[in-house]
Amino acid sequence: MLAAFATMAEAQNPIIRDQFTADPTARVFGDRVYLYPSHDIVPPAGTRQDWFCMADYHVFSSSNLTDWQDHGVILSQTGVPWGKPDGYSMWAPDCVFKNGRYYFYFPNGPKEGRGFAIGVATADTPIGPFTPEAEPIKGISGIDPCVLIDDDGSAYIYWSGMGIRGGKLKDNMLELDGELQEIRMPLREGQPEMPPMRVGGQNMEGLPEGFKEGPFAFKRGDWYYLTFPWVRGETGEGKNPTETLAYSMSKSPLGPWDFKGIIMAEHANRCWTNHHSIVEYKGQWYLFYHHNAFSPRDDKRRSAQIEKLYFNADGTIQEVKESMRGVGVNQATEKIEIDRYSTASSDVTTALIDTVNTFRSYQATLPKKGSWLCYNDVDFRGLNDSYLVVSAKAAENTEFFVREKSAKGKVIAKVKMTVKSEITRPGMATPFRRDQSNQWLTLTVPLEYMPKGIANVVITCEGDGVSIDRLQFKNRPKYFTTVSDNAAPSQPDAQGFIRRWRLMEPIAVDVRSNVIFTDSWLRAKFAEELAKLPKQKAKWYTLESENYNMKLFRFAEKYGKQTYGSFYWCETVIDSPEDIQNLRLACGSNGASLWWLNGEEVLLLEGDRRMVVDDGVSQRLTLKKGQNVLRCAVINGPGLSDMCARFIDEKGNPITNIKIQ
């Protein structure tokens, strides 16, 4: 089966977040990285529950190590002619390109007998469809195949089984070159004598003592590297050392090898296996490896991660530390999983949000004022007129800042959390939505400052403790543009709607329900605000709306003012070429509104109403030749305030031959 799945944008570890992906072999074909992992699944009922379980392989690809496309299943255990259809043993694979074809090497349990064999499936493209050969490769009994293609085109295969072995492949890439030898498997105590096996290749000499598997061989300059998971700790009663990643170097593809040391130490949480690949992409070397981040109680369900890898001048490899942040630039407009931070103050902790649905991922907790965390490499270049959306929870009302660069850096946004308030809308500094658990708040926050280019994002706790799941910067749809003082006059649109308005920044009002908007209440409130108007110090903005209606809620949000529970003054100057009589003003508003033409009240839209075109229509009016001032006041408690207005003639046709200054 071959299917193209949605792309996941993940600039953090683990890189694939909707399924388990172990033993990640990365290969560069053309200008993309292809990832061929094992596909761990939860064992079906009736199979061993505490062991590896894999029924098929997916392939993923990326051009930036951040956006991974899942190309779907490329090979399944039911499609391998020689394999057990229900063996669940599709362990660590590899894929290489030679002679115009892609060769996919995979271990599997054979229909007959015990243990593992290694098969090959071939395809014309790196994402398949792959056709498996009828038989596995003769002379290989084991797991974890890896193929190295040398500069002269010779191919070598390495695998684990009785230590780590390697051998040359024939040019057809399907058979071992050279004679097979008869080898007897070492027997465990009480085990019956087994017939000798015919095995190809040779033992890789010079590797350290201790359990080894998962060979990954590659060449850099004239050095060959044989890298492998290795148990370095003492084994025996009461001891359970886990795998490191280690390596040896040689000037020849099949050794002998000179052991050099560790690439990555044991997983801190004692996940028993590690398995890896090393690849150069766009001038940078990367280590792909696995961890059990989404399955902390079961280390047989693993997930692929990536770190950058560096070489010393003598070709040796610098030790790599596992991280949550991983690699990849995070677009500011994509989710920033802040719990995957690069560095943090020592009191910051991470924990799964949901210990049952582990793919819900993690949260980071900043326990007190002064706690901080840093998430590196966020690309702000795609932002223009933006705001921040944050998913966070806290036990107490608190505040945290999003800054650039450091814990003392410039403030990008200030997030105030009012979690204890029963009043969830009016009076809120930061509008929010609660999730179903009623704990996580999704907060929408205006920006104080916008970083340029790629920057590190730092969160600082400025009050009581807070847990944060993720951030995301969003570009505002263009609701309106700012009009300069010397701009040419505009015109109503084809339907006569007036789009240019001068708006005073909104005044916060304590209105919790719109049912109070009766005629008398509104007239009294509007008169009160009108009386205050000459002394108001508030700023005015001239805006041209992108839509027939002016979105007052978005205006308040853009300038960081209270969005729910707001009073808006709006006015526009209409230049009429002549006296136009017998026309009417037709308006709509979300929230109540009162309208004046040249100082005379002409229309009142009372009550709790949504904005509807021509919701209220005035008596007959005259627009006088020259300048006319149309003013309105809109008030709304909970709701997305907006308004629209146009003049219509006696037949209901829009008036468009006027100018708006």
Contact residues for ligand FUB, defined by CB under 6 A: 22-23, 38, 52, 91-92, 143-144, 213-214, 229, 273, 275
CB of 203 to ligand FUB, least distance (A): 18
- Could you please report the per-residue DSSP string of 449-492? ----SEEEEEEEE-SS-EEEEEEEEEEPP--EEE--TTPPPB--
**Rounded to whole angstroms, how far apart are CA atoms 535 and 587?**
28
Q: Which residue blocks in 265-403 are alpha helix, DSSP H?
A: none
Question: In this complex, which beta carbon is closest to ligand FUB, that of residue 25 or of residue 618?
Answer: 25
Question: In this complex, which beta carbon is closest to ligand FUB, that of residue 42 or of residue 617?
Answer: 42
Q: Are 290 and 20 in contact (CB under 8 A)?
A: no
Question: In this complex, which beta carbon is closest to ligand FUB, that of residue 271 or of residue 632?
Answer: 271
Q: Are 415 and 445 in contact (CB under 8 A)?
A: yes
Q: Can you list the pairs that 557-560 forms with residues at least 24 positions away whose Cβ atoms lie under 8 Å? A: 557/387, 557/431, 557/444, 557/446, 558/385, 558/387, 558/446, 558/476, 558/479, 559/446, 559/505, 560/446
CB of 280 to ligand FUB, least distance (A): 22
Q: Are 496 and 648 in contact (CB under 8 A)?
A: yes
**Residue appearing with tokens 């949260």:** 363
The percent helix, strand, coil of the chain (3-state, each to 5) is 5, 45, 50
Q: Are 102 and 149 in contact (CB under 8 A)?
A: no
Question: In this complex, which beta carbon is closest to ligand FUB, that of residue 23 or of residue 462?
Answer: 23
Question: In this complex, which beta carbon is closest to ligand FUB, that of residue 23 or of residue 404?
Answer: 23
CB of 418 to ligand FUB, least distance (A): 48
Closest CA to 425 of 554, 566, 635, 551: 566
CB of 14 to ligand FUB, least distance (A): 15
**Rounded to whole angstroms, how far apart are CA atoms 648 and 661?**
19
Question: In this complex, which beta carbon is closest to ligand FUB, that of residue 26 or of residue 459?
Answer: 26
**Token output for 202:** 């040779």
Based on its alpha-carbon atoms, the radius of gyration of the chain, rounded to whole angstroms, reads 34
CB of 411 to ligand FUB, least distance (A): 45
Question: In this complex, which beta carbon is closest to ligand FUB, that of residue 301 or of residue 403?
Answer: 301
CB of 54 to ligand FUB, least distance (A): 7
CB of 32 to ligand FUB, least distance (A): 24
CB of 260 to ligand FUB, least distance (A): 20
**Rounded to whole angstroms, how far apart are CA atoms 165 and 123?**
26
**Token output for 634:** 């809109």
- 223: exposed, middle or buried (Cβ count in 10 Å: 0-12, 13-18, 19+): middle
Question: In this complex, which beta carbon is closest to ligand FUB, that of residue 91 or of residue 230?
Answer: 91
Question: In this complex, which beta carbon is closest to ligand FUB, that of residue 55 or of residue 550?
Answer: 55
**Rounded to whole angstroms, how far apart are CA atoms 583 and 585?**
7
**Rounded to whole angstroms, how far apart are CA atoms 521 and 574?**
29
CB of 388 to ligand FUB, least distance (A): 40
Question: In this complex, which beta carbon is closest to ligand FUB, that of residue 201 or of residue 565?
Answer: 201
Give me the residues paired with residue 500 across strands.
544
Across the beta sheet with 277-281, the strand order is 277-281, 284-291, 303-309
Give me the residues paired with residue 645 across strands.
587
**Token output for 269:** 């949480």
CB of 188 to ligand FUB, least distance (A): 20
CB of 197 to ligand FUB, least distance (A): 19
Question: In this complex, which beta carbon is closest to ligand FUB, that of residue 38 or of residue 330?
Answer: 38
CB of 431 to ligand FUB, least distance (A): 47
Q: How far is CA 160 from CA 120, 137, 227, 398, in A?
A: 16, 14, 12, 55
H helix or E strand, kind and range, residue 550: none
**Rounded to whole angstroms, how far apart are CA atoms 580 and 572?**
17
Question: In this complex, which beta carbon is closest to ligand FUB, that of residue 90 or of residue 364?
Answer: 90
**Residue appearing with tokens 């997930």:** 303
Question: In this complex, which beta carbon is closest to ligand FUB, that of residue 23 or of residue 70?
Answer: 23
CB of 146 to ligand FUB, least distance (A): 10
Question: In this complex, which beta carbon is closest to ligand FUB, that of residue 52 or of residue 372?
Answer: 52
**Rounded to whole angstroms, how far apart are CA atoms 592 and 570?**
13
